[in-house]
Amino acid sequence: MSKKILLLSGPNLSVLGLREPSIYGKNTLNDYINKVKEKALDLGMEADSFQSDSEGDLVTTVLNAKDKYNGIIINAGALTHYSYSLLDALSYFKGPIIELHISNPLGREPHRHKSVIASRVNGTIAGFGLYGYELSVIAISNLLESND
């Protein structure tokens, strides 16, 4: 049975490719999802994805992921910086979690410098755009192999 991972995408990521392309590039959310699914297959895993602009929907999805997925990759968008409810849900999940950002939050506005979910994730990949999504799948795969 192959490992299953979940790619979670937070608020405003549905408009990738249109929203601030000078920061986020021209790739759409589907481009990012397809990259994750392709790399997961290359590594013998399955990947599902979920995007919502609603904090509650993301929290519910994380809580429901506990018995369905082995690992989570999350680009929480702005929720990264203030969502303690998302942190609590991620703390309930027992598998590895990678925090992911298309741009580098530490190189941007001061309100983006703090991640409240960082205390629960295994690592953060930031600033590599589409390639960061591929790196995050590799990281999850390595973490899952080391847990076997």
Which residues are part of the catalytic machinery?
24, 101
Closest CA to 122 of 103, 101, 102, 94: 94
Measured in whole angstroms, how far is the alpha carbon of residue 94 from the centre of its chain?
16
Burial class (CB in 10 A: 0-12, 13-18, 19+), 123: middle
Tell the residue number behind the tokens 């290359």, with chain if given: 42
Which H/E stretch holds residue 125? strand 123-126
Burial class (CB in 10 A: 0-12, 13-18, 19+), 67: exposed
